[in-house]
Structure 1
Amino acid sequence: MTLKLIQYKPKIFRILNQKFTRNFSLSLKSQNERKPSYYHRIENEKLKYLTFGQLLKSSAEKFANRQALVSCAENNRSITFAEALDKSDRLASGLLNLGLEKGDRVGIWSPNYEFWYISMMATARAGFVCVALNPAYTLSELEYRIEKVDIKAIISPEIFRKQKHYEMLSNLIPAMKDAKTGSSNWQNSKNTLSKVIINSDKLLPGAINFNELLKISTENDVKKIEEIQSKISPDDGCNIQFTSGTTGKSKAALLSHFSMINNGYDIGIRHEFDKKPARICVNVPFFHVYGCVAAIANSLCHGATLVLPAPHFSPEDALKAIVKEKCTAIYGTPTMFVDLVAKQKELKLNLPEIPIANTGGSICTPQLVKDVTGILKVKKFRSFYGLTETSAIAFQSLPEDSSQSVEDYVGTVSNNLEVKVIDRDGNLVKFGEPGELCVRGYSVMLGYWNDEVKTKEVLGEDRWLKTGDQFILNENGVGKISGRYKEMIIRGGENLFPREIEDFLNTHEDILETHVIGIPDERMGEEVGAFIRVKDKTKKLTREEIKKFCKGKLSHFKIPRYVIIVDEFPKTTSGKIQKFKFPEMYAKEIEEAKLQK
């Protein structure tokens, strides 16, 4: 690894933070009326200096026979915290016996299955770095990520829905097809990938069977896993989450054990899971920080049971799981809650009263709040705000907040974090004024993997992270998003970046120029709208043609929902495209496109 970053050291940070806070207080007193939008939420409880491996061991001892996870789609298979530790150590020793070494990147390319959970824990116990991969990635998207972070091994299902994972990996590495069944003895000259582990009932050429790998570990192998825990540091990177930026090229955010565990712990405290064990209906994917931190890390800290209704989001399966598994909490994006409400109106199941539900990704409408608290019988509706780069959450609701607060606010600053809002020159704006939100504290990423240039663009030597979001901060630490400096589109909780889609569409032989924006949508929050100028105005491009062109090359959620052909784009005098004018300038065309749904 060649990434050169300022490593986060809790003691050093506390000293730096105390100095900054003291200087800030003196400055504030001398300026009387001026109140700059800086807020530091200090909690007396110490941060937990632990690795995921140490936390799992502690959870297995404290909550030994309590269910850690229930996978409804896998014949309601469940594992206790003690069983999770045992399986994780067996897999960890199996991976080490394959020749993997501490610090190696191991990709998990899968939806929510039990083996995803076990694989994440095993990578942590072995000292590897877990790389979370979206199961909807196309082959080119996967290949880019393998090469970006030098993935050594991938753990995956044989097939998921229409995605034939094993077949796609075999196409990427032709030598796999000629290898012996269940063997990984093949040579890959294209990239660093050297081991493919497939969760399947079958033994496949060139692939190691996941369950067989668990079986070959001896008791002595498992004991060695416990012995190496002291050699893994909480400050080490343990998870890579892929994000993007205006360039459209994915960046790999490296998160530490320390940041993820403490963020997960704090989430549980805000939800009061420390007072009563929760059973969480997990609709969000594990490959996202929402799943990794708000679900898995939180669960390990507070002994919560994770209930997986289905490998992917299914409102009907979720509602049935809530009833059958007696869930006491629901996780989802606003779009997911819209679908849950609609499905409950149809099924009319006898739902229990749900103490708490949590959402993130975008602001909720008053109607959705009313439906969630009424139709879904949720007592407290709560919200998150955060980024991949903040190990998930930077703002969240307080226990005493009303459900209606999610209509306007993203919550209060998370414990032990600093936030500030600045103008374009980097100066603090006043409380209540819009500006760019910056975050500093234990949860900020270590940096983008092997990308010092991009890291420095958002993360200064002072460890302040620029979020790119336009934000308004109140004196009490409550915040709201007022816009985006980034052009990111949030579609059903998925973060999409226009440049990536634009660059791909511009490879079409008939397209001259493409610009993509998010178009408001009642269900998804935003849908992808592509505004296209064609080379030959006599040719008509339809959405179906664009959809066909994108299929298999762009993930399904990135394919434009609306395709609008235009003659010109609004520009500044310097020739820059003014995307903010699109909704008004093309209002008629947008409405016509919506009618064609």
Structure 2
Amino acid sequence: MRAAAGSEKGAGAGRSPDTIPALLRAAARRHGPADAVVEGRTRISYVELGRRVERAAAGCLAAGVRPGDRVAVWAPNTADWIVCALGAVTAGGVLVPVNTRFKGVEAAYALHRTRARVLFVTGTFLGTSYVAALRRAAASGPGRGGPLPGLPHLRHAVVLPGSGGPGAVATSDTGVDADVPQGFRGWREFLAAGESIPPSAVWDRAEAIRPHDPSDITFTSGTTGHPKGVVVSHAQTLRVYDTWSELAGLRTGDRYLIVNPFFHSFGYKAGVIACLTRGAVMVPQAVFSVEAALAAIAAERVSVLPGPPTLLQSLLDHPGRAAHDLSTLRLVVTGASVVPLELVERLRTELRVPTVLTAYGLTEASGTVTMCRRGDPDATVARTSGRAIPGTEVMVASADGNPLPPGVPGEVLVRGYHVMSGYFEDEAATARAVTPDGWLRTGDVGVLDEAGNLRITDRIKDMFVVGGFNAYPAEIERLLARHPDLMDVAVVGVPDPRLGEVGKAYAVRRPGSRLTADDLIAWARREMANYKVPRHVSFVAELPRNANGKVLKAELRARG
């Protein structure tokens, strides 16, 4: 069955900004002294945000960033992330958000793969020195040159202010950087270098950006296990999140707690970009904790809270919830293959949230494909991911690509203006993902109902979701295979009462090895992002395979 979008009209009627720098300038003019970003005691107005972004863009120009150069950010959700990311894009750069859960090797891969010219990096986060981790990883990488051996294309690595620990610098834009590691630059030094760049040069560069120029490369993994960079343009990003904002009902002055990480479309685009389109207030949260979220909602009068079901469930169940005033919450947006009906009902009854919506998307389609609409009944919100957004087609197809009728499961295919231009410099992978007539093969299994509502039922690519983070077995298997005591390994997702799903590894040890499950899990925690680490390990004599040698994942899942 094919579900074409209806005739809903986007909120950006008339002439709208067609690039991200133009959107920022329009927001600064329109909302001026109103709060744009609130972070603790720091209040940044829209005018001040525009000024800070202009300085960051000038620093990028002084650093030699040319139109189309890749600029990476490896840092948590902070005002500094917003400033340097928008500064990079304003300078004509292509943003490469790096997952904060990545270890040094994983981050170095993203930087090397995109040939990033500039990196903005936090000093220490969650007790880990990102600077030290990257230096260790780069030391063993290919090539020489630049501030970090092994990353020859990287010309500048800038430590962001106020990150704490080794490499930390003060948060002021003036003064002298302190304790910046050798080979890295401090934020103040970076900004000072940009003082020689006149504002006119910055905006000449920004105005030269065309709507269909790439705005970002966001990494996602596939069945090969190697992360791939999804290329999306300014025009795609702005149109999708203008639509997202209209369908969700985001308003000027809304106070939006952004707990979804900025390295993900849900955080950066449905967060930062959506707020810029409406003049909402961004309240970034660097690390999610239930206590901090409850306190922020009450203190900042938060009205908008998107997040995965596990996050919302933890808020509802927290024993200290009643001590916080959550009455300002009016909009919650979530998404997953399964959203309990009870969760939707509790949000609407216990917290009296008038609008609760679910949605479905993937990075290759700019992050959003379907959404429920305001006024949909609880059952539709809980049991489906809504209908195709305007300008988008969704089809459930058989293995040979033919449309299937309502109620019959098949692969979800998507076509529309927001489908990626391709994977970065990977024509073969792009050709496998996008058909010649423009249909994106999502790898997800779904069912459409008579009204066009989509329900995701399975994952062809074996992906599972750990507390809101997509985990890809092939990538985890590739990392685990580096362990010297393993001969073979396969990973599947298994149910978990707290995180929804977690990984379980079935591993074949080398003869004579005394490797234990605890040993392997501890090793994995040192080598990969925490959400990828298998929580369970079973050692087996051999993995079940078919005649072609493919591991029978269904059989492993059935073992539990």
Report if TM-score (shorter chain) is over 0.5.
yes
2:422 to 441, 447, 461: 447
Q: Which runs of 5+ in 2 are unaligned?
A: 161-168, 171-177
* 1:307 equivalenced with 2:283 (yes/no): yes
Q: Secondary structure at the match of 1:456?
A: helix
Task: Give the alignment of 1:214-225 within 5 angstroms.
Answer: 214-218=191-195, 221-225=198-202
Over the aligned positions, Cα root-mean-square deviation in angstroms equals 2.3
Paired amino acid for 1:222: P
| Cross-structure match for 1:409 | 384
Q: Secondary structure at the match of 1:331?
A: coil
2:77 to 78, 102, 112: 112
1:269 to 217, 228, 246: 246
* 1:65 equivalenced with 2:33 (yes/no): yes
Paired amino acid for 1:197: V
Task: Give the alignment of 1:165-564 within 5 angstroms.
Answer: 165-172=130-137, 186=147, 188=149, 190-199=151-160, 200-201=169-170, 202-204=178-180, 205-218=182-195, 221-274=198-251, 277-308=253-284, 310-345=285-320, 348-536=323-511, 541-564=515-538
Q: Residues 68 and 305 of structure 1 are in contact (CA less than 8 Å); yes or no, is this contact kept in structure 2?
A: yes
Q: Residues 17 and 26 of structure 2 are in contact (CA less than 8 Å); yes or no, is this contact kept in structure 1?
A: no
Distance in 2 (CA, whole Å) between partners of 1:491 and 1:60 is: 37
Distance in 1 (CA, whole Å) between partners of 2:148 and 2:292 is: 42
| Cross-structure match for 1:89 | 54
Cα shift at 1:367: 3.2
Distance in 1 (CA, whole Å) between partners of 2:324 and 2:115 is: 47
Assess, with a 3 A threshold, how the Cα gap between structure 1 residues 99 and 569 changes in structure 2: closer, same or farther. closer
Assess, with a 3 A threshold, how the Cα gap between structure 1 residues 346 and 230 changes in structure 2: closer, same or farther. closer
Cα shift at 1:77: 1.2
Q: Residues 351 and 377 of structure 1 are in contact (CA less than 8 Å); yes or no, is this contact kept in structure 2?
A: no
Distance in 2 (CA, whole Å) between partners of 1:404 and 1:147 is: 46
1:378-408 CA-partner distances (Å, limit 9, x unpaired): 2322112000011111011101113443321
Q: Residues 188 and 194 of structure 1 are in contact (CA less than 8 Å); yes or no, is this contact kept in structure 2?
A: no
Query: Taking every aligned residue pair, what percent have the same amino acid on both sides?
Result: 28
Cα shift at 1:195: 0.2
| Cross-structure match for 1:20 | none
Please report the TM-score for the alignment, with normalisation by the length of structure 1.
0.85
Distance in 2 (CA, whole Å) between partners of 1:486 and 1:248 is: 11
Equivalences, count: 537
Cα shift at 1:514: 1.4
1:68-119 CA-partner distances (Å, limit 9, x unpaired): 11113xxx21211111111101110111012221111010000101111011
Cα shift at 1:172: 4.9
Distance in 1 (CA, whole Å) between partners of 2:537 and 2:495 is: 14
Q: Larger deviation: 156-165 or 375-384?
A: 375-384
Q: Secondary structure at the match of 2:527?
A: coil
| Cross-structure match for 2:164 | none
Cα shift at 1:191: 2.5
Distance in 2 (CA, whole Å) between partners of 1:155 and 1:188 is: 17
Paired amino acid for 1:194: R
Distance in 1 (CA, whole Å) between partners of 2:243 and 2:16 is: 11
Distance in 1 (CA, whole Å) between partners of 2:269 and 2:111 is: 23
Q: Residues 333 and 493 of structure 1 are in contact (CA less than 8 Å); yes or no, is this contact kept in structure 2?
A: yes
Assess, with a 3 A threshold, how the Cα gap between structure 1 residues 550 and 406 changes in structure 2: closer, same or farther. same
| Cross-structure match for 1:162 | 127
Q: Larger deviation: 413-422 or 85-94?
A: 413-422
1:297-335 CA-partner distances (Å, limit 9, x unpaired): 111111111112x31212111110000000111111112
Q: Residues 396 and 404 of structure 2 are in contact (CA less than 8 Å); yes or no, is this contact kept in structure 1?
A: yes
Q: Larger deviation: 364-373 or 130-139?
A: 364-373
Cα shift at 1:203: 4.5
Paired amino acid for 1:111: P
Assess, with a 3 A threshold, how the Cα gap between structure 1 residues 540 and 347 changes in structure 2: closer, same or farther. farther
Distance in 1 (CA, whole Å) between partners of 2:371 and 2:360 is: 6
| Cross-structure match for 1:54 | 22
| Cross-structure match for 2:551 | 577
Distance in 1 (CA, whole Å) between partners of 2:527 and 2:81 is: 25
Distance in 2 (CA, whole Å) between partners of 1:59 and 1:303 is: 6
1:101 to 66, 82, 103: 66
Q: Which runs of 5+ in 1 are unaligned?
A: 1-35, 176-183, 588-597
Q: Residues 67 and 93 of structure 2 are in contact (CA less than 8 Å); yes or no, is this contact kept in structure 1?
A: yes
Answer with 1 or 2: which has the greater Rg.
Answer: 1
